[in-house]
């Protein structure tokens, strides 16, 4: 089914069966302009595999609010930030104040409109703001 999916949403829990289940060999089968979103656990997607796919296939987009566990903690440092077809936000589980939430919604709506109008998006999150 992955070769026919226009959008893939990963909401899998992390366990011995799902660890890196979405790896390069599987993900390379996605169709043109596929959007992959991870809202489950970072380690269900192979970090090197998704990076390789996004480098080879700029038409594929990957968004996540969960990252890979390194030294026991979710680590925002990843070379995915250098890619135009990657969007990441810190996994805050809805944390933050009202102004932050309002601005995030406004920027998200602007980004969706830009994508619908021009087929482009901007990665508005800067990792420096969070590490």
Which H or E run includes 37?
strand 35-38
pTM of the model: 0.71
Question: In whole angstroms, how far apart are CA 57 and each of 8, 49, 97, 131?
Answer: 16, 12, 37, 28
**Taking a C-beta distance cutoff of 8 angstroms, is the pair 54, 80 a contact?**
yes
Q: Is the model's pLDDT at 100 over the cut of 80?
A: no
What are the backbone dihedrals phi and psi of residue 11, each rounded to the nearest 5 degrees, phi first?
Answer: -120, 25
Determine phi and psi for 86, rounding to 5 degrees. -120, 135
Angstrom distance (rounded) from CA 42 to CA 64 = 8
Asked whether the predicted pLDDT for residue 124 surpasses 60, the reply is: no
CATH class of the structural domain 2-93: alpha beta
For the cut 90, the answer to whether the pLDDT of residue 21 exceeds it is yes
């Amino acid at each position: 089914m992955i070769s026919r999916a226009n959008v893939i949403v990963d909401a899998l829990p992390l366990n011995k069966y799902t660890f890196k289940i979405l790896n390069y060999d599987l993900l390379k089968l996605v169709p043109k302009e596929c959007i992959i979103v991870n809202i489950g656990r970072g380690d269900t997607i192979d970090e090197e595999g998704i990076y390789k796919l996004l480098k080879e296939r700029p038409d594929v987009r990957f968004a996540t609010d969960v990252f890979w566990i390194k030294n026991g903690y979710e680590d925002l440092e990843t070379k995915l930030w250098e890619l135009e077809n990657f969007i990441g936000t810190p996994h805050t589980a809805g944390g933050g104040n009202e102004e932050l939430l309002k601005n995030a919604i406004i920027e998200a709506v602007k980004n969706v409109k830009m994508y619908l109008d021009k087929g482009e998006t901007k990665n508005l999150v800067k990792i420096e703001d969070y590490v």
